[in-house]
């Protein structure tokens, strides 16, 4: 029995080591689709490590929206997210993730957060209020940026409090306690944000269940709204989401105008 137990422990330890090695592939399944969106232009910025990073920019007279996408990693999959902002004549800057859509470099939590901060500096250089909108994986980048930069507000769509909790659930491992695992502790960054945070989460989201954003409700800066019937990828199709997004931006823009 002791030998069987030791063999099981060894097998589990081997499994944990393999999953630690492989877990970035699950976090960053970036797609190769390289598209410059209609009405946008690609702008090159200098990454902190010298690797060029890119944003796509749509000119508008309103406040600036810094958009941080999900882990498809290619803006071609998120073009409809910009429709309400373009209709409202907002200035949109969307970060292209390195390692996706043909962009150079290797992605990681540290690298993407550095790139998002550089994109935020570029957005702030427009001398207009900046609202950071993050979807799914990008919600972790949004809270990070908002904790460090003087932005006007934050909109989080389908966010998580800690991404490592999702890895734990799917991998049957204590991912948040394991070394070398990229943790993405968004809730910690959100606690440092003193501007309005608006959370929109689908009630039927199976990829990032709404329970993973419940911790944001405890923060005084947060307004959280569940979108009834919405899942993870179809949330933008719901009228209640569009209304929630419009309300969030109206409140942030009114607050920043005071």
Output DSSP code: residue 209. Answer: -
The string of pLDDT tens digits covering residues 155-186 is: 999 999 999 999 988 888 898 999 999 999 99
Confidence of residue 61 (pLDDT cuts 50, 70, 90): very high
What's the token pair of residue 37?
């969106």
Antiparallel, parallel or unpaired: β 197-202 and 222-227: parallel
Contact 200, 225 (CB under 8 A): yes
Output DSSP code: residue 80. Answer: G
- Residue 46: CB partners within 8 Å, gap ≥ 6? 52, 53, 118
CA–CA dist 147, 144 (Å, integer): 5
CA–CA dist 196, 33 (Å, integer): 34
Q: What is the pLDDT of residue 176?
A: 94
Q: What is the pTM of this model?
A: 0.95
Confidence of residue 21 (pLDDT cuts 50, 70, 90): confident
The string of pLDDT tens digits covering residues 198-243 is: 999 999 999 999 999 999 999 999 999 999 999 999 999 999 999 9
């Amino acid at each position: 029995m002791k030998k069987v137990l030791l063999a099981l422990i060894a097998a589990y330890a081997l499994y944990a080591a393999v999953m630690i090695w492989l877990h970035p592939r699950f976090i960053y399944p970036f797609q190769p689709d390289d598209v410059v969106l209609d009405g946008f232009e690609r702008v090159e910025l200098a990454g902190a490590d010298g690797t060029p990073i890119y944003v796509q920019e749509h000119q508008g007279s309103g406040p600036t929206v810094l958009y941080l996408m999900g882990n498809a990693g290619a803006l071609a999959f998120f073009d409809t997210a910009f429709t309400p902002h373009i209709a409202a004549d907002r200035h949109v800057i969307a970060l292209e993730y390195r390692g996706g859509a043909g962009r150079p470099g290797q992605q990681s939590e540290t690298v993407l957060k550095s790139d998002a901060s550089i994109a935020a500096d570029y957005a702030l250089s427009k001398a207009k209020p900046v609202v950071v909108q993050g979807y799914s994986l990008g919600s972790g980048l949004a809270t990070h940026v908002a904790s460090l930069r003087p932005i006007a507000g934050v909109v989080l769509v389908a966010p998580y409090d800690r991404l490592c909790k999702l890895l734990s659930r799917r991998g049957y491992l204590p991912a948040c306690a394991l070394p070398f695992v990229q943790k993405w502790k968004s809730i910690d960054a959100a606690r440092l944000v003193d501007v309005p945070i608006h959370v929109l989460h689908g009630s039927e989201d199976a990829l990032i269940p709404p329970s993973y954003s419940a911790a944001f409700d405890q923060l005084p800066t947060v307004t959280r709204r569940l979108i009834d019937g919405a899942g993870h990828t179809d949330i933008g199709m719901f009228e209640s989401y569009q209304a929630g997004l419009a309300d969030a931006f109206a409140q942030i823009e009114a607050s920043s105008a005071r």
